[in-house]
Structure 1
Amino acid sequence: MNTGSRTGAWLFALLMLISVPSLQARTPPDQLIIGMNMNNLLTLDPAAMTGNEVVGIVVNLYDSMIELDPNRLTEVRPALASSWQVNEARDRLTFQLRKDVKFHSGNPLTAQDVVWSMRRILHLNLAQASVWKSYGFSKKNVDEMVTAPDDYTVVIQLPKANDPNLVLYSLAALGSGSVLDSATVKSHEQNGDWGNRWLTTHEAGSGPFTLDTWQAKDVLRMNRNADYWRGDIKLSRVVYRHFQESQTLRLMMEKGDLDVASNMAMADLRALRHDPDVTIDAVKKGTIYYVAMSMKESHFANAKVREAVRYLIDYQGINRALMAGYGELHQRPIQSGPATLPDPGYRLNVEKAKRLLAEAGYPQGFDTTLRVLADQPFLNIAIAVQSTLMQAGIRAKIITGTGNQIYGAMRERRFDMLVGRGGSGVEPHPHSSLRALVYNPDNSDAARLTNFQGWRTGFYDAGLNKAIDSALLERDAAKQQQDYHAIQRRYDQLIPALIPVSQMVDSVVVSNRVRDFQPHPSATTFLRDVYKTADAPSGETP
C-alpha cells in the first residue's frame, strides 16, 4: 500500500471513531443513571444526615409514616401510616400503621420500630435531632412522648404547645422520619452508638430500593426491592455517579450515558436547552444561599462590623452573573411566600462599609478566613465576596474543602466567615426557615444545636426566639402573617450574623426517555414510580 492509501485509510478510521459518539449511547432500559456531586454526601444514617443530596437517597431506601405531595406541599399523604388523627387539644397525634410491610431483612415493620427510630434520633443527638429538640423532645422525655399502645398504633404527645401541622410536615419531609429496622440496627451496635457507625455506609429500611454499594465520591448503587409493599418497582437498579465538573455532566447527558443530572453550571444548562433529547426541570426550593459570620470571633461580635459586611456583598451582581440556574435574589430569612416581606434592597456600598468599620475601630480593616465548599456556585460566590470585602480592607483568606470540612467547622462553631446554603425550607411553613436560620433557644456550647445556623453563628436574641415561638402557635392566619412580618423586621434591625443572598433553584436535566421523574421541592424525590421508554428517533420525544 502506498503512502497516500495508508493516509486515506487512517483518515477514514479516524472519522469513523469521531462519528461513533454521534450515535448516542443509551443507558440500560431498566436502570436509572444519575450524575451528581457527592462531595457533601457524608453518611446514609437518617439521624445524622445533612444536605439535600442524601435526603433524595434516604427516602428511596426507607419509608416514613407520611409524605408530602410534590404538587401540593401542604397536602400530607399516607405512607406507612394509613390514617392519623390530631386530638382537639392539638397536642397529640395518633397514627395507624399498615400491617403488610416488611423491612429489607424480612422482619415485619411494627409500631415498636417507629418508636425506636424516634428514640434513636434524640439519644444520638446528631444533626436531625435539632428539629425535634426545638419541638420540646429530648432523650429524657422521648420514651414518654412517643409510644406504641399496640403493634400498629403510634402516639406522639407534643411536649410543648406547637402547630401539629408543622410536626406532620416535619415527619413527612425531613427524612428523619424514616423508620429503621430496629432489630437489624441493634445487631450492629458498637459501644452504645445505636448503630451509627454501621449505618453510615449501610441501610436498614423498607423502601423501594435496597443499598448495593456506596463508594464515597465515586458511585452509589441501589437495587429494586422485589417485595416492596406498594407493588412492583419498574426500575431494577438506580446508580448515582459522582461528577464534580459541570461540563462532564453535560457531555455525559449529551452522549446518553446519564439519565438525570443535577447541580450543573448555567453555561452547560444553556447548551442543553437546545438538546431535543432532554428536559430541564427548574424547581424552586426553600433553601437559602448565605454569607455567615461567627459571633464567637471578636470582629464579628461587633454589630457595626456585621453591618459593614452587609454592605460589602454585591447581591445583584452575584445573582445576575453567578446564580442563573442555581438561585434567585433573596434577602430575607424566610423563603418566598405570603409571609415573606419584600427584600430590603441591600446593595454593595463600599464607602458606607468603610465608615462602619472605622466606627467599630477597624479603619484599616482586618484579616479573616472565609470557608466554602470547593463546588459551584459556592466557590464563585466566595470569590466575589472576597473581592468586595477587600475593597473595605477586610482581607479574607478562602479555605475550601468538602462538606465535612467546611460545615463541620461551622457545626463546631470554629470558623470566621462561611459561604453556605441552608434553611431547611422543606416544610411548607415559615417556621421551617426561621427554625433553621434564625431560631436559637440555647446559645451555650453544650446545647449542640448543630442543625440550627443561628446556634452555629452564635446569633442569639431572647425576644426574637419568643416571637418565633408565639407566631407558631397563632391560629388566626392574618395575625400569624403579621407576626412573621414583625419577626423579619426585628431580625433585620439586630444586624444578624447570617446574611441571605439567594433562594435556591434546583435545575435538574432529565432524559426524555425517563418517565414519572418528579423533582420534589423538599428534596424527597421518590423513584418508586419512575420508568424508561424505548429509544426514540433522534429529535423526537417518546
Structure 2
Amino acid sequence: MKKLFLFVFALSLFVIQAAQASTPKDTLVMAFNIDEIISLDPAEIFEFANAEYAANAYDRLINYDVDNVSKIYPGIAESWDISDDGLSYTFKIRKGVTFASGNTLSADDVVFSLRRVVLLDKSPAFILTQFGFTPENVEKTIAKVDDYTVKILVDQAYAPTFFLYCLTSTAGSVLDKKEVMAHEKDGDLGYGWLKTGYAGSGPYTLRTWKASEIMILDANKNYWGDAPKLRRIIIRHIAGSAGQRMLLEKGDIDMARNLTADDLKNLEKNKDIKFQKRAKGRIYYLGLNQKNKYLKIPEVRQALKYLIDYKGMEQTILSGKATIHQAFLPKSFLGALEETPFSLDIEKAKTLLKKAGLENGFCVTMDTRNTEPVTSMALSIQSTFAKVGIKLEIIPGDGKQTLTKYRARRHDIYIGDWGPDYMDPHTNADAFARNPDNADDAKSKPLAWRNAWDIPEMTKKADAAVLERDTAKRARMYMDLQRQHQQISPFVIMFQDIEVVAERADVNNFILGPSFDSNFYRYTTK
C-alpha cells in the first residue's frame, strides 16, 4: 500500500511539473520555417535558413560589425594586406584554432575551402569566381605561402571592400580539409557527405538535421573564441505562424521567427513575450519575365509599378514587418537610393496600358510561395491588377517548386524576396542590374537573366561601379544606376524587410544582424 501511495505521489508530482514545464535553461528552442534547407554544404548553401546555420557553425577569414557594417574585423585571418596595385591580398591565419573534430586549422584548410567553392561551381560559386578564379587557375590564384599565410590574386583592381565583403559570405566559410576529404567519393571533394555533414570550427556544431523537421546544434567544445553561452540550440520546423505563436505562448519554445503581423499584434499584451526588430537587407519584389509578350512592353512594366498598393500593404499585411522601398540596394548599403517614385495610381496605369494597346487588359500568371506575407501580398496585387482588366492567376507552391520554375525562366511573374550575399553594393547590382549573357544556357544566371532582361549597357555601368576605388564617386554611380533601373527594369521593387523576433521574457542577447546570415546564437542567454 505504501509503495502504491509513493508511486501515485510521484506520478502526480511528475504531472504537475510537466504542466509547468519550460524549455531547458541551457537550451534555446526556436520555431523557424526551415523547409528551404536542401544542403548544409557551405559551397552550395544559397537560402536564408541554411545561411544562418552556416554563420553559426563555420568561421570565416574576416567578419563585419553588425551595428556598423563598414567596420571589418579579423576572424580566422588575424590580419591582411592589400598590394598597391589592388591585385594581391595576403592573409595571416590565426594560430591555435582547432576544428570541432580536433584537427588544427591552418592555411591548407583556408586554401582548400576557397578552391573547393570554385571547383564545385554550385550556386554561390559566383561570389568568388567573379574575381577571375577558375578551375584551371585556382591553384595559382589561391595559394598557401606558409602554414599560416594565404595569398590570393584577383583579376582586376576592384574596390577593396568588395572582395573583403565577399569573404564574409557563406562561400567564405573555412572547412576542415582532413575531415571533408576523409569522406570524399569519386573525386567529389566530400560534396555528397557534406550535404548533410559538418566540418567546421564555429561556435556551434551540427548534432542533427532532419529536412523540414528539426535541426539541433551543440556548443563547440573546441571553439577558439569566447564559449557559447548556451549548450544547445534546437530549431523546430514550424511553417505556420499560428502554430509558432501557440507554442510560444505555452512556453514550449523560447523564440518564434516567422510570425505574421496579426500574430505579433495578438502577443503585444502578453507580459511573458518581448520583441526584437531589425531592418534587414531582404527586399520584396516582382520579377516580370521578358519572354512574356505583354510584360516585355515598356509601358506595361511601368503600368504595373503603379498598380501596387504599397501603403495599404505596408499598413496592414506587413504592419511593422517591412517598409516601402523601391530601389535594388537596401537602406544601409553604400549608395542606397531611398527615393520612392511609385504609388497606387489606377488612372496613370490605365493611360500607360492604353498607350501599349492593352486598354482591355490581359491574362498573366504569378508564381507565389505558400508562406506569409507573400501569399497575402499576392492577393492584394491580384485585386489591384483587376481594376485595369489584368487577370492575374496565382500559382501557389512551396519554396523548392517556385524557385525551380523561376530559375528556369518558365514563369510570367514571380513574387518573392531577395537578400544580399554580402554587404557590398555590387551584390544586388550584380543580381538586378547586370546580365552579361542572356542566352538560355548562360553560365551566369542573376535575377536579370531569370527575367530574360538583356541589358548590355547597364551591365557595363555595373561593371564600372565595382571597379571604382573612390568611395564617394562609387556611391553616386550606384545611385544613378538605381534611378535608371527604377524606371525601365522588369522589377517591381516594393519593400525592405524588417525582421521581428518574438521571444520569451527570459531570452537575452540573441543577435539580430542586418543580413540573413548575421543572426548569431553564441551570445544568447536565458
- Whether the TM-score (by the shorter chain) exceeds 0.5 is yes
Distance 2:380 2:374 in 1: 10
- Deviant stretches of 4+, over 4 Å: 19-24
Native 8 Å contact 2:98 2:201 kept in 1: yes
1:143 partner amino acid: E
Native 8 Å contact 2:112 2:177 kept in 1: yes
> Does residue 457 of the first structure (1) align with residue 416 of the second (2)?
no
Sort the Cα spacing of 1:376 and 1:272 in 2 relative to 1 into closer, same or farther, 3 A.
same
Sort the Cα spacing of 1:411 and 1:197 in 2 relative to 1 into closer, same or farther, 3 A.
farther
1:155 partner amino acid: K
2:8 counterpart residue number: none
Secondary structure of the equivalent of 1:489?
A: helix
1:473 counterpart residue number: 467
Shift of 1:375: 0.4
Sort the Cα spacing of 1:73 and 1:195 in 2 relative to 1 into closer, same or farther, 3 A.
same
1:228 partner amino acid: Y
Out of 62, 81, 86, the position equivalent to 2:82 is: 86
Shift of 1:422: 0.4
Sort the Cα spacing of 1:192 and 1:397 in 2 relative to 1 into closer, same or farther, 3 A.
farther
Out of 376, 379, 390, the position equivalent to 2:375 is: 379
2:511 counterpart residue number: 518
Distance 1:480 1:351 in 2: 38
Shift of 1:291: 0.8
Task: Describe how 1:228-247 pairs up with structure 2 within 5 A.
Answer: 228-247=223-242
Task: Describe how 1:248-259 pairs up with structure 2 within 5 A.
Answer: 248-259=243-254
Native 8 Å contact 1:285 1:426 kept in 2: no
Distance 2:489 2:17 in 1: 52
Native 8 Å contact 1:335 1:425 kept in 2: no
Sort the Cα spacing of 1:85 and 1:356 in 2 relative to 1 into closer, same or farther, 3 A.
same
2:502 counterpart residue number: 509
Sort the Cα spacing of 1:455 and 1:143 in 2 relative to 1 into closer, same or farther, 3 A.
farther
Task: Describe how 1:40-119 pairs up with structure 2 within 5 A.
Answer: 40-119=36-115
Scaled by the length of structure 2, what TM-score is found? 0.91
1:313 partner amino acid: I
Distance 1:390 1:22 in 2: 53
Sort the Cα spacing of 1:426 and 1:250 in 2 relative to 1 into closer, same or farther, 3 A.
farther
Distance 1:478 1:89 in 2: 20
After the TM superposition, which of the residue ranges 496-505 and 276-285 deviates more from structure 2?
276-285
Shift of 1:22: 12
Native 8 Å contact 1:333 1:433 kept in 2: yes
Q: Deviations over 1:96-123 (max 9, x none)?
A: 1122222223322221221221122222
Distance 1:311 1:319 in 2: 15
Distance 2:144 2:269 in 1: 55
Out of 474, 483, 488, the position equivalent to 2:477 is: 483
Sort the Cα spacing of 1:98 and 1:455 in 2 relative to 1 into closer, same or farther, 3 A.
same
1:506 partner amino acid: E
Q: Deviations over 1:87-144 (max 9, x none)?
A: 2222221111122222223322221221221122222222211222333333333332
Native 8 Å contact 2:324 2:494 kept in 1: yes
1:346 counterpart residue number: 342
Native 8 Å contact 1:285 1:425 kept in 2: no
* Number of residue-to-residue matches in the alignment: 511
Scaled by the length of structure 1, what TM-score is found? 0.88
Secondary structure of the equivalent of 2:502?
A: strand
> Does residue 314 of the first structure (1) align with residue 309 of the second (2)?
yes
Sort the Cα spacing of 1:240 and 1:182 in 2 relative to 1 into closer, same or farther, 3 A.
same
Task: Describe how 1:493-508 pairs up with structure 2 within 5 A.
Answer: 493=487, 495-508=488-501
After the TM superposition, which of the residue ranges 231-240 and 358-367 deviates more from structure 2?
358-367
Q: Deviations over 1:385-433 (max 9, x none)?
A: 1222222232222122222111222222221111110041740x33333
Shift of 1:20: 7.8
Secondary structure of the equivalent of 1:515?
A: coil
Shift of 1:283: 0.6
Q: Deviations over 1:245-294 (max 9, x none)?
A: 21222222222221222121112212323333332111101111001111
Task: Describe how 1:77-476 pairs up with structure 2 within 5 A.
Answer: 77-172=73-168, 174-337=169-332, 339-424=335-420, 426-427=422-423, 429-450=424-445, 452-476=446-470
